[in-house]
Structure 1
Amino acid sequence: MSRFLQRRLLCSRSSSNSNKSSNQQQWKVKQVTRSNFSEALEGIKRHIQDSDFIAVSSQKSGAFSAPWRRVLSFDTPETAYCKAKDAAEKFQLFQFAVCPFTIKNSKVIAFPYNFHLFPRDELNIGMPSYSFSCQTSYLTSMAREGFDFNVCIYDGISYLSRVQESSAKERIGSPISRIHPVKSSLTPSVADSVFLERTRSRVRHWMNACKDPIPMKGTDDALVKSLRKLILGEMYGSRPCMSIDVCSERQVELVLEMLIEFSDLIPLIIPDKSGGPGAVRVVLTSSEEDKKLLEVRELENLEEEENKRVRGFREVIDAISVSQKPIVAYNCLTEFTFIHSKFLASLPQSMSEFMCSLRFAFPCILDVNYLLKEIGPLKKAKNLPAAMSYLKRQFFMPLDMELPHQGFSEQEHERMNHGHNVLRITQSFAKFCLILKVTPGTNQTVNDDLDNSLESYSNNFNPFCTSLQESIDAEGIVWMDNTRKVSTEDLAFLWGFRSGMSAAVLKSIFRGSHDVFSEDFEVRLVDKSCAIVVFWTPGSVEVLLNVLGSGAVGSGGLKEMISEGLRGAGYELYKRICRLGLWESNLAESLDRALEEPIPDVLGANSTKDLSEIYWSNDSVINLEDL
């Protein structure tokens, strides 16, 4: 090859690479850590309120612990939920990107934020997490992208879920709580009377000392000041205060009743480590106006600040929930099991309960993975690159992404910029709106007149359940019928075969070895230990399992495999191990455990009936880099 051609080739490659990265260079995502969280919180709340949609995307410490434990195309919604639930409970969130955006014709105005998170135990109560799992491939990928684990651990924003926050308040109480005195019906005992008189005398002496004028300067000035400081005690802001130690709820009642005599005093309850009352802090106000200022404004502000510290990043999740705006995400089942687990409450046992609980917080959720499959011809696309190529050729979609300046510092420009996935989701969703002729209004909520065509795509968490259409040939793209409806009763799991055997080898051994394999069937490896067989003739699975149980087969490869330990089971056993969480490293080990050591299925009787049909598909999930 001549040097001229080599030069042209290199220039062409560098040009394509620069075009691919040019958008990312323009996409500057606001990076938020604990140090600038308060400032960013005010900004994102304002942008959420002014937006049409909110895109979300997260970076996790892992998603599955074994290949068969990821959501697969033969999973029913219930088994898929069991897998997503297991991952959400084991792994953690390291980054959470939020992008409020509006769509005006062919222009998208977006405000992306990327929050760095870490489940730090701020209150020393073992929440949100004592420990969590990590998947090495995920950490390696994050390290390649320049993720700073030191920033995550030392400056990541912590959080508590709604349930955890309620539990924390019950256990430790509010650091300072205002309690209105209630007249006790109990007759004071001798010990109560002694405690009450001592406390009343102490409060009176303290108030007199606070109100006495400062003595004239003299030789004993330093001594007087020291004694005065000892008598006055602490300060609550600019106001004098004193603490009264209490040993029981009864003593708290007595102190509060006694303080009614003093109109200038405001009592505050200080809890101890166990959550019980540790002391009553008495604050002296200078006037009636000063008293109202402390009660109405300052204490409420203090309580709100403390609540923000406890909630942490969940303030953002709550702001999204309150807005009731449609949320756009990718692979919603995985994304929102994490969101529910970390920020709302523990995940329910069934998919239907999960969806019901989730809709209370987020009524409208849109999955770009599902939207792609809803574009007519793309339901049967052979692969994603072909689908994206088809979109570019068949649809003219001029789209302008505008990211208003958000006050980035020079350090943020120099640092590796994370959170681009949320912008890819935003951009792809806007394109799908143009293709599907969905024209969202401005600042709409779910309670307003949300476009019916958009609402019909919402809250679909099963990307493999797509309707069927005829195959299409267009523009040189190869289409294939890669999605077929099949009953779970026609699926069988086989294991116990020799290691290293491929699906093609297994299919060739099975074919012709018995009448059950004379009809059309397919074989796919779930992992290295187990294969799944789909029969297109009803009743074949029952015949196969009877053959494996009795060994009533002639000669050939299947008989040899049975003698070597080939085993089989129907789909019900697979659903059972997912529901019970028998998550061994190999699927074969989980199936063996369920067969050899039957475990009572206490959930089976109360769980809702799962769908009996799946869509057998060879589709790959969307790669956001290609959007």
Structure 2
Amino acid sequence: MAALLSLLPQRRCLCTKPHNKWSVKQVTKLNFEESLSEIKTHIAHSDFIAVSLQRTGSVSAPWHRVLPFDTPHTAYAKAKRAAERFQLLQFAVCPFSIRASKLLAHPYNFHLFPRDELKMGMPSYSFSCQTSYLTSMARDGFDFNACIYDGISYLSRAQEPAARLQMRNPMPITHVVKSSSTPSVADSVFIERVKSRVKHWRNACKDSSANRDEPLLSSLRKLVLGNEEYGTRPCMNIDVCSERQVQLVLEMLEEFSDDLVPLIIPAKGGATQTVRVILTSSKEDKVLLQNELQNLQDEQTKKVRGFREVIDLISASQRPVVSHNSLNDFTFIHSKFITPLPPNVDEFMCSLRLVFPLVLDVQQLMKEIGPLRKVTNIPTAISYLKDHFFAPIDMETLHQDTVNEGKIHGHNVLRIAYLFAKLCSILRIAPAESDNKSLVPALEEYANILNPCSMSPQESTDGDVSIWTNSTRKVSCEHLVFLWGFKRTMTAGKLKSLLQGSHDVFSEEFDVRLVDKSCAIVVFWKPGLSETFLNVMNSEEICGSLREMVSEGLRAACYANYKNICRLGIWEADLAESLEKVLEEPDCLGKTDSETNPLEVHWFSDLVINLDDL
């Protein structure tokens, strides 16, 4: 794979002049340790943290994208599918602070690869790639060989305990909490037997005369006592049958706390198999051993967590995280670095807030400026603001990294930070400084709105979705009907003309939009007409030109079918095929939790969707 990817063109796209002076530190596993200590300091002294992800793909069909008529539940289902299929190859992080018109940024671009460092089949056996994404990355000079061989691996929080169980590394015990239960007769017999054995072994190890024994006698003595060595220090193993016995042994060893250090040796299934006792020569030697064990454990922890150390630093800082298209970004982050994604959006939001309590999406701020409501491209948004508003922002990056000079990887995270500072200046929002972790009220109303189709903070609270247009009309999902079975060359305007006059329901105001080449969506502005139309489509009394269209293959379905497609994961290339499959399942129309209340969407006046924008 690496050899094949190395054949991709290694060309660099031209950067505009201002971006050439932006220095982004490129981080691989070769310089990860030093970068980790640097970014820890920068995060601690920052006001915000911008993030930007580079994925191996996004969607495999136009309708798989989050669309204007998606509810928060269907939008989350689409983002969840993408996060579970595709992989992250770059994760850019930029702690930054805003002081008046000055933006102080510390950008890092981490190169990732889900390598199985511990030979346990984690973090990932396989993932999907889209050729368009790989081509774009290659055009920007992305080094796939460096990614595969030097990319930083990681394990999620959910995968880490499983990895530790399989590794079965000894765990040092620094503090023993005494049990409140009264020892039974069996407990007393067990602990006295172990205590006698430990005393005899400890005294024998300290007996100087034993050191002068002949080699054969010394070997027999070690065999009888069960004496082994941990490095250069003597040790012995105490077999246990339950966690209760582990507790009893650890409490008993507290009597010898001056020179004995216990270690827990886990069994394959996760329970404790053995308590290993190490004898030290003095209190100073005991402290030295404990430090060695702690350092060993820290090194192993870093190896297991990998890049997730950065995620944990961001989470622990409780700083607001700024992104663009946050629903896609944070479903990926949750899936790769925290736990598998929950089944619905409500559980996802609860889980995400435990890790990142404040998430800000620059798209929500952009919607406060009318012409930017339709803009999804960050450079275009920055260019528009520069042309129409006087809000100078002086950005300073402090990295002096000449090794990667000229590379553009990770520059998008700087654009996000710059755009955020620009919008705050134009909207007259003064961000809180680093000594105050809470957001100012003007920014709080934009926090944790992940649905990209929300028109405003107020509309995001009741489950509404929206589109980026200046002329919108709110409509209930119950008034939407999906149509398919028409010719592939059909346009929305032509389909609307065919429907007009085909039945009385189309004598009232209605609108048509293409979702993809196989399916259209119809909105009835008058309540009740969508239900009437669906009943007519399933009736034998259908007549006129509508009957002719049905005979040629026209089919219809309500919005509930579309929600079930997303809920059940029927992700065919054409929406029409997915609708056909969901209609074949008679039991899939039941209402699901969190989706029992009617939702409303915003509609727009355009008749034809531009498939190039999908």
TM-score normalized with structure 1 length: 0.81
Please report the TM-score for the alignment, with normalisation by the length of structure 2: 0.82
- Structure 1 portions without partners, runs of 5+: 1-16, 469-478
Which of residues 27, 31, 49 in structure 1 aligns to 2:44? 49
Q: 1:581 aligns with which of 557, 569, 575?
A: 569
Please state whether the residue corresponding to 2:97 is helix, strand or coil: strand
Separation of aligned partners in 2, 1:533 and 1:600:
22
Partner of 1:81: 76
Match of 1:451 among 399, 423, 440: 440
Aligned to 1:502: 491
1:426 maps to which of 414, 417, 423? 417
Q: Which moved more, 1:49-58 or 1:337-346?
A: 337-346
Cα 1:601–1:247 change in 2 (3 A) is farther
Instruction: Find the aligned partners of 1:142 and 1:402 in 2 and give their Cα distance.
Output: 26
Q: Separation in 2 of the partners of 1:384 and 1:289?
A: 59
5+ residue gaps, structure 2? 1-12, 458-467
Question: Within 5 A, what are the aligned runs for 1:514-533?
Answer: 514-533=503-522
Corresponding residue for residue 3 of structure 1: none
Equivalent positions of 1:464-475 (< 5 A) are 464-466=453-455
The equivalent position to 1:462 in structure 2, one of 447, 451, 456, is 451
Aligned to 1:69: 64
Amino acid of the structure 2 residue aligned with 1:434: S
Name the residue aligned to 1:122. Answer: 117
Task: Determine whether 1:615 maps to 2:602.
Answer: yes
Matched with 1:562 is 550
Q: Kindly tell me: are residues 31 and 581 of structure 1, through their superposed partners in 2, closer, same or farther at Cα, counting changes over 3 Å? A: same
Distance 1:195 1:49, change over 3 A: closer
1:155 corresponds to which residue?
150
Change (3 A) 1:422 1:347: same
| Structure 1: distance between partners of 2:368 and 2:177 | 62
Deviation at 1:402, TM superposition (A): 0.6
- The structural deviation recorded for 1:277 is 4.1
**C-alpha distance in 1 between matches for 2:287 and 2:376:** 70
Deviation at 1:32, TM superposition (A): 1.3
Aligned mate of 2:160, from 150, 155, 165: 165
The CA deviation at 1:324 is 1.4
SS of residue paired to 1:396: coil
CA distance in 2, matches of 1:133, 1:547: 43
Corresponding residue SS for 2:117: coil
* One of 514, 521, 533 as aligned partner of 1:544: 533
Taking the TM superposition and a 5 Å limit, the aligned residue runs for 1:202-351 are: 205-208=204-207, 212=211, 234-236=229-231, 239-242=232-235, 244=237, 246=239, 248-249=241-242, 263-277=258-272, 279-295=274-290, 297-351=291-345
Matched residue count: 579
In the TM superposition, residue 585 of structure 1 has moved relative to its aligned partner by: 2.6
Aligned to 1:596: 584
Aligned to 2:386: 392
- Within 5 Å, give how 1:401-412 maps onto structure 2: 401-406=395-400, 408-410=401-403, 412=404
Shift of 1:532: 1.1
Tell me the distance in 2 between the aligned counterparts of 1:90 and 1:590: 19
- The question of whether the paired residues in 2 share the 8 Å contact of 1:340 and 1:346 is answered with yes
Query: 1:35 is paired with a residue of what secondary structure?
Result: coil
Q: Distance in 1 between matches of 2:336 and 2:187?
A: 48
CA distance in 1, matches of 2:341, 2:270: 27
3-state DSSP of counterpart to 2:330: helix
* Pairwise CA distance, 1:118: 2.1
Separation in 1 of the partners of 2:97 and 2:153?
29
Which letter maps to 1:328? V
Asked if residue 104 in structure 1 is aligned to residue 92 in structure 2, the reply is no
Report the more deviating stretch, 23-32 or 509-518. 509-518
C-alpha contact 2:170 2:263 (8 A) present in aligned 1:
no
**Offset at 1:268?**
1.6
What is the CA distance between 1:191 and its match in structure 2?
11
Of 529-538 and 185-194, the range deviating more from structure 2 = 185-194
In the superposition, relative to structure 1, how do residues 182 and 357 fare at CA in structure 2: closer, same or farther (>3 Å)?
Answer: closer
Distance 1:615 1:210 in 2: 90
